[in-house]
Structure 1
Amino acid sequence: ERPGRSAARVLEPSASPALAAQSPGRPSSPQEPALCACGDVFLEFQEELEQVYKVYCASYEQALLLVENYQKDPELQRGIQRTIEAVLPQAGPSGLSFLLVNPLQRVTKYPLLLQKILENTLPDASAYPVLQRAASALQDVVTHINEYKRRKEVASRYTKVEQLSLRERLARINTHTLSKKTTRLSQLLKQEAGLVPKLEDKEFDDLEEKFHCVSLCVTELKSNVAAHLDALEVLLRFRPHESHLDIPGGPVAQYGDLARDLQLQAFPQFKQRLEGLVWQPLCSLAKALAGPQNLIRKRLDKLLDFERAEEKLSEVGSVTYEEEAARHTYQALNSLLVAELPQFNQLAVQWLRQILCTLVTLQGDLAKHVLQRAESSLAQLPHHHLSEPAFRDLVADTLDQAGHQLRSFQENFEKVLPPPTTWPLLPGAERQVQALLSRYGPGKLYQVTSNISGSGTLDLTLPRGHVVALLQNKDTKGNSSRWLVDTGGHRGYVPAGKLELYHVAPSEEDLRGQAKPHENSRQLTPEPTLAPVPSVPAVTQVVAVCPFAARSSHEVSLQAGQQVTVLEAQDKKGNPEWSLVEVNGQRGYVPSSFLARVPGPAPWGWSLPS
C-alpha cells in the first residue's frame, strides 16, 4: 500500500496531471537552495502541523453538524454568508462548508506535492535528502492524523452519558451481551486467583490515580459548596431586623441597621457571586469529568477482552474478527487516554485551583465588607474605645456584679416568700379533706386549680378548689397526663395539669392553742402554744361559682359570682352535697359544688424589703 493512500481516510484527493505540470522540472543549481528551504520548513513545522490538523480533522464531522443546524435559521445563515463574502470574496456561494473543507484538502496535498517534487529531483542533488525526509515526515503526519481521528471516533461512542430507565437497560440485554460479560467476569476471576497474569501499565495507572484524586476533590468541593448555599438560603429567611424589642434607640437600633444591611445587601450579593463564579464553574468541571470517567471504566472492560484475545492468540495462533476488533478498540482507547489524560489532569487541576482561589476571594470580600460595616456601627457603641482584653474584663466584671445582685435578690426573696397558695375549700369539704388526709396522708392530696369537665366514661367532673387523693400518676395505657384520683366518694381520671399539691393549713384551734393537734394535722411551729394574735376581719367569702335555677320551694336560685351566707353545710339528712344558704333574704338549698370560698375585698399582702 502506498503511503499516501492512508490520507484517503480523511479526504482522498486525486493526483491530477496538472500536478506534474505544475511541479518544477529537474532543478538546476540555482533552484536547489529554494528546494532545501522548502524541505526544511516542512521538517521544522512537522510537529505543529500534526497537533493543529489532527484536532481539526477529528472535529470536522461535528463542525458539519453545526453548519447544518445553522442552515435551519435563515437569518443566521444570511449573517454568516455576509461575513464570509466580506472577508473572503472568492469563497462564492459555497459558503462556510467550502472554508471548512479547505484545510482537509491542504493537509493531504502536502505529501503528494513533495513526492512529485522528489520524483523530479536528481538523486545526487543536495536538496534530494531534505525533500525525502520532508515527504516521509508529512506522510507520517497524515498517518498520525488518521489514527488520532480513529481513536476519537472510538472514544466518542463511550463518552456520551446516557440517562436510561430500567426498562431501557433491560431491553439492551441479549445473549451477546451476557456472553461478553460472562467472558470478562471469568477473565477477571482468573486474574484475581492468579491463574493468568494481569497486564500491568504503570504509566496509565499513575494517570488514572491522579485523575481519580482530582475527581474526588471536585465531588467533595461540590458537595460542600451545595451545603454552603443551602445554609445561606436558610440564613436569608431570617429577618432579625424586623424583630421589635420595644427598646427604642441605642445599641438595639444600631444592631437592627447592621442586620438589615447584611440581610438585604451583603449576604444576597455574596450568594449571587458564589453561584455565578464558583457553583456554575464547579458543575461544568464535574460534567467535564464524566467523559474521561466513562472512558476509563470502558478501558477496563476492553482490557479484559484484549487479554482474553492475546491469550487465545498465543494458544491457537489466530483470533476471530470480533476479537481482533476488540484488540484494536482497547489499543485505541489506551493510546488516547495515555496521550490526553496528562493534559486533561493538568487542565482540571488548574480549573479546580482557580475555583478554590475564587471561593477564598469571595469569602475574604464578604468578611471585609461585614467587618467594615460592623466597625462603623461599633464606633457608635459605648466602650468602643476599649481594647479587646479590656472589654473582656469589663464584660466579666459586669456579669459578676449581675450574678451577685441576683443571688442577693434570691436570698431576700426566700426570706419573705409567702406561704404556698391554697385554693379556698368548698363549703362542707372540711370533713372530706380530713377523711382523705387520715387515709392517704398529706403527700397524696392535690387540689383542683380549674373546673374539670369529664368527657370519658371514667373521667371525673370537678369544680375548682376540690381536694382529691392521688392513687396513680398514669392511666392504664401509661399516659402520665391523666391521673387516677379518689374524691372520697368516687374514683376516676382527671388531667394532671389541673392539679397542684394541696398544702394542709393548721386549724384555728391549733393557732390559738386551745386544742391538741389531731394526729393527721400538722403544726407550723415546734412550740406547744403560740402567743395570742390580734383578731383580724374575715378575709374570705362564699360565692356561687356558676348559676343555679331553683326547681322547688325548698331550693333558691343563684347567679354566678353572687355572694351567699352558708347557714348549714348539709341538708337535714346530713348529706354534704347540699347546703342551706341565704341569698337576698331568701333561704333554700343549693348544691355544695356550686359554692366556693374566695378572697375577700381586702386580703392580706406581702412586699419585698426596701
Structure 2
Amino acid sequence: MGTTIWYQDIDVEDNEEIIADIQRRITEIEDDLQNCRKCKDDLEQQVSEAGDTLDPETTDNLEFYNANISGLTTELNNLKRNLSQLMQKSSADEEARHQEEQRRRLEEEIARRKEEDKRRSEDMREQMKQKRQQVLNELVETERSFVRDMHLCIETFIGPGVKQNPNIDTDTLFGNMVELVELAEKLLNSMEEYTKDKPFEKQLTGCCFSWLIEDMKSVYAPYCRNHDDVLALLEKYEGNEAVQEYFRQGLDVIREKIVVFDIGSLLIKPVQRVLKYPLLLNELLKSTEDSHPDKEGLIKAMTGMTNVAQYINEYKRRKDLVFKYRQESDHSIGDKMAKISFHSLKKKTARIGMRLSTNLGISNQTVDVQFNEEELRFRNVERCLRTVKSNISLFMEHLQEVTWCQEALAADIADFYTEGSGKDVILQYQVAQQAFSDKHYKLFKARVDDRVILSLNRLIVMFNGPNQVVKKRYDKLLDFDRITKQLESLRAGDPLYKKTSDDLDIAHKMYEALNAQLKDELPQLCEMSLLVIENCAKSFISLRRELLQKIVSDFQPLIQLPYITTLTQDQANMMDAFNIAHTRLLENLANILLCPKSLREEHDDKVTDWPVHDNKSPDGKAQPSEPTAQSGVSQQSESQQMYIRQLYPPDKLYKVLQHYTASHVMDMDAVAGDLVGLIKDKDPMGGKDRWFIDNGVKKGFVPSSILVALSQVQGDSNIGAQTKDVSAYEPQTTNSTAAKPNGTENVQTYSSEKPPIEFLEPEVYVPHPEVNVPHRETHTPQGMTTQLATQDSMDAYFDDDVPDVSSNEDIYQAVYSFDARNDLECPLVEGETVRVLAFTDQEGNDEWWLVLTSSNKQGYVPANYLYKTAG
C-alpha cells in the first residue's frame, strides 16, 4: 500500500522513467507471484498425498504462501493502476506537445509562404509592368508603321501631282484611304501624347481609343465593305499589262522604304489593322493592374473596339445580303422556276396569310416610321425620274414630227412658188429648214440621247436592285411578325418553344440587316439620283438653248430680207388667196363623178362660206371682225371662244360649218367658224332638227345640220382653212368629276391635284385680263323680248341646263387680300365683292378663277381666297 502512495506522490516530470520502473516492478511481482503460487501448489499436492493430517510447518508454509500471494496481488494491482494513470497523463502530454509542435511548424510555414507570396507578387508586378510596356510599345510602333505605309501608298498612287492611270478606278481601289490615314494619325498622336515620357502610373491608352470609337465605325466600315470590290477589281486588272506595269513601278518606289509583296497586301492592311485593335487592347488589359488608372479606360476601349469589329462584320453581312437579293432581280424566269420548292411555296403561302391578317387588322405589324419616310421619298424620286425621262422622250418625238412637218411645208412652199420675185427668198427658207432637219436636229438628238436619255435610262435600271431589296425587306418583316405571333402562343415548356425562338432570332436579324441597310443607303441614292436628274435637266436646257440659238442665227437673216420687210398688207394676207384657190380646186374636183361623195358635200358647204379673217390690232389684242356680206353679224372673237371653252365641257363644244340667218323668232344668227356650246339637243317640242346653243353673247336655236362636234373637225384641213386652229387651247381632261362652286354637278374637271398657293401660277396661254371676255348675261335677238317674257314654259325648259352667271350664284366675296404678281392676275381687297366669270383657267385648273371686280378690273385670283355670299 505504501508503494502505491509513493508512486502517487512522485513527480511526473520524468514520466517515461517512472513508467519504465513500474513496468519492471510489475514484471518482478508477477514472477514472484507465479513462484509463490507454484510453491503453494506443490505444498498442497504434498498435503493431499500425505492425507488428512497436516504438520504445523506445512500449515505455516501454506499461510505464508497465501499471505505472500495476497500481498503480491494487491501490490500488482496498485502498480497496474498507477501505471495506467501515468500512461494516460503521458498520452495527454504527448498530444499537447504534438499540437504545439504542429502550431509552431504552421506558423513557420505561413511566414515562409507570406514571404514567398510577397516575393512572387513583386516579381509578377514587375513582369506585368514589363509586358504592359512591351504591348504598349508594340501598339504605338505598329500604328506608326501603319500610318507610314498608308502615307507611302497615297503619295505613290493617289497623292497630288501623281500621274493617274486612266485605266484604273482609283476611287474604288483606294476608297477612303485618305480619311482613314487621317484618323490613324489622330490616334497615333493621342497615344504618343499620353504615353511618351510619362511615368508608368500615368500612361493612359484606353481613353485614346474611346474618343474615336464612332469615327472608327464611320471610316473603317466603308473601307472594309469596299474591300470585296477591290479584290474583284485587282483580279480584273491581272490581265491588263499596262495596269500591272503601273503597279510595279509604284511598288518599286515603295520597296525602297518598306517591305511589300504586292498591291493587294498593301490595300488589305487597314482591314487587318482594325481587326487587330481588340487583340492588342485585350493583351494590354491583361497586363494592367486593377489599381492602374488606365484600367477603366482600357475596359471601355476594349468594349468599344469589339463593337466596332462586330459592326464591320454586320456591315459586311448586310452588304452581302443586299447583293444576294439584288442579284435575284437579274434571274430569268427559268431560274426562278427552278428554285420553286415545297419550302418556298410554304413560305409564300404563310406570307400571303400574314399580309391578309395585317391588312384586316387581325395581327399587328411592326412599323418603322423612318423607313416609311425614306421609302416614300424613294418612290417619289423614282416617279420623278420616270416622268422626266418620259417628258423628254415625248418632247423629242414631237420635235421630230415638227421637223418633218416643217421640212415638208418648206418643200410645198417651194413647189408653190416656183416662179416669181420671192423665189430666192423661199429657196433660202428651204435651205435653212433643210439645215435644221439634217444638221441641227440630228446633232441635238444625238447629244440629248448621249447626255440625258442614256443617263436617265441607266439610273432607272439602277432602281431595280433597291426595289427588289425593299420587296425582300417586306417579306422578312412578314416572317418576323408571323414567328413573333407564333412564339406568343407558346409557353416556355413547350417542345416547339426553343425552335421557334431560334427561328425568331434568325428572322429578326435578317429583317434588321435589310432594314438598316435600306435606311442607310436609300437617302444616299435619293440625293445622288436628284443630282443626276438636275444635271440631266440642266444639260437638256443647255442643249435646247444652243439649238434655238442656231435656229435664230439661220432664220434671222430671212426676216431682214427686203422682200419680207416690204410686203404690203394685201400681199401678206396669203390666206385669202389660198382659200380662193382651194375653193376653185374643190369646185373643179366636185364636178368629177369619180370623186368621193364626202368631197362633193364638203364643196357644197364651202360654196356658202367665205374666208375668216383673224384681225388683230398692231399690239396683238383681239378686235371684232368686220361684218360679213351674207348676214351682217360679227365674227366671234377669240375671247368669246375662250369663254365658251371654260363654260362647257369638251363634249358640248361644236363648230358652225356655214352661215345661218335667223328665220324664226327664237332662232339666232350663226357665222361659219363660230365655237358654240350646246345647251339642249332638241327644241321645246322635242324635235331633233333644231338645237339650243350659246355663242358666248346670245342663246338661240340653229339647225343641227350646220353644227359638227369640235372633236371631229380638229384635224380637218378644210375647217382649219376657215378658222384658226384651236387645238392648242384644248384642256387636258380627266375622268374625274366634281361639283362646281355654283352648284352645277357632273361637270368635268381638268386638274386632279391642287398645288400650294405659292405655286399656283396661271398658264401662259390663258387669256390676257385686258381681253374683253363677255359677261355670262342672257341676251336675246331683236323682237324676241316680248315673246320670251310671256313664255314661262320656255324658261323652265332651260333653267336646269343654263347657269345664270348674272345671278347671285356667281357673286363671291374675298376672304383675304391678294396682290397681283403679273398682268394675268387681279388684285383683291379683303371683303371685296366680285363676280366670277369662269371657275377654271384655260387648262381647266379650278384653283384659279376669272373674276370681275366692282372697279371693272378683270383677271385670275386663287379660288381659295373667295367664299360664296349668302343669298
Q: Give the structure 2 partner of residue 101 of structure 1.
A: 268
- Determine the C-alpha separation between the residues in 1 that align with 2:442 and 2:206: 63
Aligned ranges 1:203-222 → 2 under 5 Å = 203-222=370-389
> CA shift at 1:149, angstroms?
1.1
Deviation at 1:346, TM superposition (A): 2.1
When residues 64 and 399 of structure 1 are mapped into structure 2, their CA distance, relative to the original with a 3 A threshold, is: closer
Structure 1 segment 346-365 matched on structure 2, within 5 A: 346-365=527-546
Shift of 1:158: 0.7
Per-residue CA distance 1:576-605 (angstroms, 9 max, x = gap)? xxxxxxxxxxxxxxxxxxxxxxxxxxxxxx
CA distance in 1, matches of 2:465, 2:519: 15
Task: Write out aligned runs for 1:174-253 (5 A).
Answer: 174-231=341-398, 245=415, 246-247=418-419, 249-253=423-427
Q: 1:332-343 to 2 correspondence within 5 Å?
A: 332-343=513-524
> Matches of 2:306 and 2:553 in 1, distance apart?
67
Q: Deviations over 1:247-266 (max 9, x none)?
A: 47432122023113212332
Provide the C-alpha distance between the structure 1 equivalents of 2:254 and 2:139, rounded to a whole number of angstroms.
30
Which amino acid is the alignment partner of residue 272 of structure 1? A
Structure 2: give runs of 5+ residues left out of the alignment: 1-130, 141-191, 491-496, 594-871
Indicate if the aligned counterparts of 1:236 and 1:268 stay in contact, CA closer than 8 A: no
Aligned residue among 443, 459, 465 for 1:269: 443
Tell me what 2:551 maps to.
370
Cα shift readout 1:212-245 (whole Å, capped 9, x = no counterpart): 1111111222233334445556667785577763
8 Å CA contact 2:132–2:287 kept in 1: the answer is no
**Partner amino acid for 2:480?**
F
Are positions 1:315 and 2:482 aligned together? no
What is the letter of the counterpart of residue 476 of structure 2? Answer: K
CA distance change for structure 1 residues 138 and 270 in 2, over 3 Å: closer, same or farther?
Answer: same
Q: Give the CA deviation at 1:207.
A: 1.1
CA deviation map 1:78-135 (0-9, x unaligned): 4332333235556767312201211111112233334444555565666555555444
Q: How far has the Cα of 1:16 moved from its partner?
A: 13
Q: CA contact under 8 A between 2:135 and 2:284: conserved in structure 1?
A: no
Alignment match, 1:152: 319
Contact 2:260-2:266 within 8 A present in 1 as well: no
Q: Determine the C-alpha separation between the residues in 1 that align with 2:561 and 2:203.
A: 85
Aligned positions of 1:537-548 closer than 5 A: none
Name whichever structure is richer in helix by fraction: 2
- 2:558 is paired with a residue whose SS is helix
Contact in 2 for aligned 1:118/1:132 (Cα 8 Å): yes
- Provide the secondary structure at the position in 2 that maps to 1:200: coil
Are positions 1:283 and 2:450 aligned together? no
Deviations 1:382-418 (A, max 9, x none): 3449xxxxx9x947973587489879x98xxx9xx9x
Q: Name 1:473's counterpart in structure 2.
A: none
One-letter code of the match for 1:282?
L
- Are 1:398 and 2:585 counterparts? no
State the shift of 1:370 in Å.
1.6
SS at match of 1:160: helix
- What is the rounded CA distance, in whole Å, between the counterparts of 2:558 and 2:214 in structure 1? 64
The 3 A distance-change label for structure 1 pair 168 and 235 is farther
Letter in 2 for 1:362: L
C-alpha separation between the residues in 2 aligned to 1:297 and 1:263? 47
Counterpart secondary structure, 1:362 = helix
Q: Match of 1:289, as an amino acid?
A: F
Residue 17 of structure 1 deviates from its aligned partner by 12
Q: How do 1:578-597 and structure 2 match up within 5 A?
A: none
Instruction: Output the TM-score relative to the length of structure 2.
Output: 0.40
Aligned to 1:567: none
In the alignment, the residues of structure 2 paired with residue 311 and residue 394 of structure 1 have an alpha-carbon distance, to the nearest angstrom, of 86
Taking a change above 3 Å as real, the CA distance of residues 277 and 23 of structure 1, as seen in their structure-2 partners, is: closer
Change in Cα spacing, 1:395 to 1:349, as seen in structure 2 (3 Å) is farther
1:524-535 maps to which residues of 2 (within 5 A)?
none
Q: Which moved more, 1:293-302 or 1:166-175?
A: 166-175
Structure 1 residue identity aligned to 2:534: R
Q: Do the aligned residues in 2 keep the contact of 1:27 with 1:121 (CA within 8 Å)?
A: no
**C-alpha separation between the residues in 2 aligned to 1:73 and 1:194?**
60
User: How far apart, in 2, do the equivalents of 1:328 and 1:184 lie?
Assistant: 18
Alignment of 1:517-528 (within 5 A): none
**CA displacement at 1:176 relative to structure 2:** 1.0
1:283 aligned partner, one-letter code: N
Cα-to-partner distance string for 1:537-592 (whole Å, 9 max, x where unaligned): xxxxxxxxxxxxxxxxxxxxxxxxxxxxxxxxxxxxxxxxxxxxxxxxxxxxxxxx
Displacement of 1:41:
5.2
- Cα offset for 1:292? 1.0
Change (3 A) 1:396 1:119: farther
**SS where residue 59 of structure 1 aligns?**
helix
- Whole-angstrom CA distance in 1 between matches of 2:542 and 2:437: 20
Using a 3 Å threshold, how does the CA distance of structure 1 residues 161 and 187 change in structure 2: closer, same or farther? Answer: closer
Paired AA for residue 352 in structure 1: I
Q: Is the 8 A contact 1:159 1:295 kept in 2?
A: yes
Once the two structures are TM-superposed, the CA of residue 371 in structure 1 deviates from its matched residue by: 2.1
Other structure's SS at 2:383 match: helix
Tell me the secondary structure at the aligned position of residue 463 of structure 2: helix
Q: Which amino acid aligns with 1:67?
A: L
- Structure whose alpha-carbon radius of gyration is higher: 2
Shift of 1:182: 0.9
Counterpart of 2:778 in structure 1 is none
When the two structures are aligned, how many residues end up with a matched partner? 393
Partner of residue 22, structure 1: 138
Q: AA paired with 2:440?
A: A
CA positional deviation for 1:333? 0.7
Task: Indicate the residue corresponding to 1:454 in structure 2.
Answer: none
Closer/same/farther in 2, CA of residues 398 and 324 from structure 1, 3 Å limit: same
Cα distance in 1 for partners of 2:320, 2:513 equals 10
TM-superposed CA distance for 1:274, in Å, is 0.5
Aligned to 1:168: 335
Letter in 1 for 2:433: A
1-structure distance, mates of 2:206, 2:569: 87
Q: What TM-score comes out, normalization by structure 1 length?
A: 0.56
TM superposition shift of 1:303? 1.0
Distance 2:537 2:263 in 1: 41
Matching residue of 1:528: none
Instruction: Map Cα deviations across residues 337-393 of structure 1 (whole Å, 9 max, x no partner).
Output: 1222222222222222222222222222222322232223322253449xxxxx9x9
Equivalent residue in structure 1 for 2:561, among 377, 380, 391: 380
| CA deviation profile, 1:33-72 (whole Å, cap 9, x unmatched) | 9955x65654454333322211121222232222223224
Q: Distance in 2 between matches of 1:360 and 1:184?
A: 48
For residues 46-125 of structure 1, the aligned pairs below 5 Å read 46-87=213-254, 89=256, 94-120=261-287
Note if contact 1:218-1:286 (Cα within 8 Å) is conserved in structure 2: yes
Distance 2:560 2:201 in 1: 82
What code does the residue aligned with 1:22 have? E
Q: Which structure 1 residue ranges, 5 or more long, are not aligned?
A: 1-14, 386-390, 423-610
Asked if the contact 1:270/1:366 (under 8 Å) is kept, the reply is yes
Q: Which amino acid aligns with 1:188?
A: R
252 and 118 in structure 1: CA distance in 2 versus 1, 3 angstrom threshold:
same
Question: 1:273–1:395: structure 2 CA closer, same or farther, 3 Å change rule?
Answer: farther
Q: What is the alpha-carbon distance in structure 1 between the residues aligned to residue 543 and residue 297 of structure 2?
A: 58
Which whole-Å CA distance do the structure 2 matches of 1:397 and 1:255 have between them?
Answer: 17
Amino acid at match of 1:358: S
Percent of residue pairs identical:
24
